[in-house]
Amino acid sequence: MAHEFKTQRRVSFAETDCAGIAHFSGFFRYMEDAEHEFLRSLGLSVQHESDDGSVVGFPRISAHCEFSRAVRFEDVVDIHLWLSGRRKSVLEYSFRLSCEGQEVAIGELVVIACRVTPDHALEVADLPAPFADQLEVAPYGPLEFRSRTGKQSGGDS
């Protein structure tokens, strides 16, 4: 059983913006790529081919990130992913991103197993057996998002 994964990522030039820092939307791609790398490390794919030939994917139902420091071109971001929730069809991944030992962001992706129907609609499905067999919730508390706790952010009073 696995519950966490660590990886690194270097900020690309194209990921920066004219404020000179990595654009915030890229953090969601970092988190998703880390999720997929975690699954690959277990022999799983986020595009799961079932035994019956159907494909189960994991569309995101929630994505959340809080940013505390900027990162810049060529910075290396350390990404710590852990599974913070698991239900019949839903996986909740939490992320802590840091750079040179300082936290830069925390994030969360909530995804739901869906089977793609022949007419390209999405239909909620149970977690595929290899996911259910190998993934367990990490022994860490949930992330404390400022917006969830009611504490607001950033130097204001």
Per-residue contact track with its own copies, 120 to 139, x per CB under 8 A?
x-x-x---------------
Q: Is 12 in the site for its own copies (CB under 8 A)?
A: yes
Binding flags for its own copies, 86-105, as an x/- string (CB under 8 A): -xxxx---------------
How far is 109 from 31, CA to CA, in rounded Å?
8
In the chain, beta strands by DSSP E = 4-10, 48-49, 55-57, 60-67, 76-86, 90-99, 102-112, 114-116, 122-124
What letters, b where the CB count within 10 A reaches 16 and e where it falls short, cover 31-69? Answer: bbebbeebbeeeebebebeeeeeeebbbeeeeebbbbee
Site string for its own copies, 31-70 (x = CB under 8 A): -xx--x---x----xxx---------x-xxxxxxxxxx-x
Strand 90-99 vs strand 102-112: parallel, antiparallel, or unpaired?
A: antiparallel
Count of residues binding its own copies (CB under 8 A)?
Answer: 58
Indicate if 119 belongs to the active site: no
What are the residue numbers of the active site? 17
List of residues contacting its own copies (CB under 8 A): 12-14, 16-21, 23-26, 28-29, 32-33, 36, 40, 45-47, 57, 59-68, 70, 72-74, 87-90, 108, 110, 112, 116, 120, 122, 124, 145-148, 152-157
